[in-house]
A and B are shown apart, each in its own frame.
Chain A
Amino acid sequence: MTDSQSTDLIGIGGGLPPPIPAVELVGITKRFGAVVACEGVDMVFHRGQIHGILGENGAGKSTLMKILIGLVLPDEGRIVVDGAERRIHDPLVAADLGIGMVHQHFSLIEALSVWENVALGEKGTLDPGTVRERIEEISEQYGLAIDPDARVGDLPAGLRQRVEIIKCLRRDPQIVIFDEPTSVLTPEESKQLFSSLRNVVAAEGRAVALVSHKLDEMLSAADEISIMRQGRVVDRQVPSETNARKLARSMVGRDVLLRSERAALGLVGDDEQGHQDMGSPGSSGPDSQHPALRIEGAVARGPEGTKILDGLTIELHRGTIVGLAGVEGNGQRPVGDLLSSLLPLESGRVEVDGNAVPAGRPGAMARAGIGVIPEDRHDSGIVLEMTVAENLVITDPYCVARRSLIDPKRLAAFAREIIEEFDIQCDGPAAPMWSLSGGNQQRVVLARELVQNPKVLVAAQPTRGLDVVAIEYMSNRLRTAAEEGVAVLLISSELEEILDLSNRIVVLRGGRVAGEMSRSEASLENLGLLMGGSTG
């Protein structure tokens, strides 16, 4: 059944791989309610190989790895370890089977020292001496120098990474999963990491799974790459036979079937000018001397101190849709946060209709007329514990209030009107937000923002996690908004979506603009080139 995969790989990576793969995933499926996280995933990990799993956030790779490590149980499918089928229901079971993961976030304790962190989770008496010895052993063997007594909280990201790796390697795992290892590393640190990685694999023939959304990483580190999108494995590539552009295309295109349907309807084209149905968004063009939104030279730092925006300059005109494309981690999320008043700027400015708006001041952006459909609505869009009606008015309660007193009748009427107009499925205005499906929650956010008649509408990953119908609805709404004169900033990792909706496309890389072009000049090819270009 799955031998076909092994045979595909014969001849790659230097000779015949061992007949029994370290781990085989067969038909893994996992659903969280209506959302499909993984669907029918087949994957094989061989000893002595680094297998890259490439995909955007939401593609399903994190869930897949959580299944492998025992934090999540799959709904369907099998896991075969060293030829024997296993049920991994707990991280301890995974550890016993020799599967270890180098976590991205949730595993180190800042207040403790390196050796204490490494010792955490084991059993038996605590012997600092033995732990320190082991740390030194591993450090030497794999080129991961570290001071065992340093406090983890004082270490920079690169060294913390090392601690994670050492912690994982201490148990001598046979299968090592690296989860987004370089998201906070500098290019230098990344290089060092990957050379260590080679050592990890080469010595004792371990199998390594490298999970990432970074194209160049995959190309330089992996022996083979599985590309995931929307829960499925959509492509398999070998670095020697591919390049960043191709990877980018596979990674951010929409589902193939859907795409062909849409192409058939003439709604989108790869290299065509798929504009016919768009009407003429903002046919009036820029109708004032000021752009609706202008971000100039924005520089901002993240919690680790690294620059998440590095001199970003973008302009947006009324009645147009500008698509902000880019691989995750290159500045898309910070732009959304900035325009939500959640991110202060180190330098640079934001202007709406020519007027400066202070960054980071609560509510300033909203007051200036910037509506936002945030990337993570649970984090910054909706309040689950409040009712639908309340969620609809939190950005501007005064629209249903008179002199600070909310009129319940007006509120209910207002909410009902919106519910009807936007076709939100819920038990009425007083329904608690947590009772709505994801798609309907998104509609609430959309409705709320549009009703405010914003000058600028930021839609960040607006269709992530939604079904076909909901996607269609959202897209139409954005188009209509632009037709009515709103300046729409579409931030998306889905290139299809960007191509479908935008008049102009701006590509982000490294926290700044890597390139701009009009829709007619754009294609998956040259966008992929800009997005996936080499780092630095």
Chain B
Amino acid sequence: MSPSGLAERVPAIAVKGAVKRYGHVQALRGASLEVYPGEIVALYGDNGAGKSTLMKVMLGVVPPDSGSISIAGREVDMTSIRESQDRGVDAVHQDLALPPDLTVLESMFLGHEVMRTGLLGRLGVLDRTAMADASREALERLGIRLTTVRIPVKSLSGGQRQAVAVARAVMWTSTALLMDEPTAALGARQSDIVCDTIVSTAARGLGVLVISHDLPRTLAIAHRVVVLVRGAVAFDGPAHGLSVPEIVEIMVGHLRDSMGGSSNGGS
């Protein structure tokens, strides 16, 4: 299952030596990781290990104190969300990044709007029909059927919102897809569909990074596992042959060794 010859290939997205401090809390202490095209990397770690911060750094949402990010081999401006988006990187955030008052179709196309053709388009007029059709299709691929995509996001259930966020990210990504707890609000069946989506996204040749507390489900589809402990990479190796207890041991074992059993720290 694991793509062969990863070493010669250029990572879809790579972060090197990311350091981020929030006041006295050091969220990241020189974390590095790569996600290769076609590869699913599972990023694990205890609460406060720095997983979400690392992902936000990779997206340009949170500027790091030091470190570098490259997308498809080219270094990017780490303060520009737009640049990483233009280079085909998109994400599902844990705190769902959908404006609640916008309709489903509007939030799926926010920042990527389809305009009407001709003069109306030049005047900035949106083509809501085209966006509605494409949104409906993208949601159906995730097994979500809404009779209308013209209802506000806030009138959806938590699971539906999550599905919209996943569908949005999948729709706009062409290089790397980063997902922070994409199955958190979902039931078993929806979680499976999201995992299938992750597999098919990677099969299209994209790199996928998944942060999840659902170890069994994500370990089953991951090619590689990276474990973050207190802002640094404690493990980076093939997923094949790893078991959930072993990963948990790495996640908490290091904490036990270095901190006497309790965890604290950054986001």
Q: Do A and B bind each other?
A: no
Binding site for B on A (CB under 8 A): none
Binding site for A on B (CB under 8 A): none
